[in-house]
């Protein structure tokens, strides 16, 4: 019997506003690290939701990696 070739796993597509998923991506797939960062951000600013904390972290990480780039 002929065997079917194995398919590569499809990359999960994320919606543009899914900052938790973007944070996991910026943490190189480390979900535990992303969860820890969100918890720390929520300690700093208790009024933030999980998405708000993730947005703040994504913005901060992007700025630290590319401080001179500007979005137009």
21-64 confidence digits (pLDDT tens): 999 999 999 999 999 999 999 999 999 999 999 999 999 999 99
Q: What φ, ψ does residue 5 adopt, rounded to 5°?
A: -70, 145
On whether the pTM is more than 0.85, the answer is no
Distance CA 71, CA 68 (A): 10
Question: In 3D, which of 66, 65, 35 has the Cα closest to residue 53?
Answer: 35
Residues 1-21, mean pLDDT to the nearest whole number: 70
First to last CA, the chain: 57
Asked if the model's pLDDT at residue 11 lies above 60, the reply is no
Instruction: Report d(CA 69, CA 21) in Å as an integer.
Output: 23
Give the number of other Cβ atoms within 10 Å of residue 63's Cβ.
Answer: 11
pLDDT at position 28 is: 94
Q: What are the angstrom distances between the C-alpha of 21 and each of 15, 32, 60?
A: 9, 12, 15
């Amino acid at each position: 019997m002929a065997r079917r070739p194995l398919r590569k796993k499809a990359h999960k597509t994320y919606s543009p506003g899914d900052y938790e998923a973007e944070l996991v991506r910026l943490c190189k797939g480390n979900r535990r690290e992303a969860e820890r960062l969100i918890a720390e951000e929520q300690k700093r600013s208790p009024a933030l939701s999980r998405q708000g904390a993730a947005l703040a972290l994504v913005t901060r990480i992007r700025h630290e990696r590319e401080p001179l780039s500007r979005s137009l």
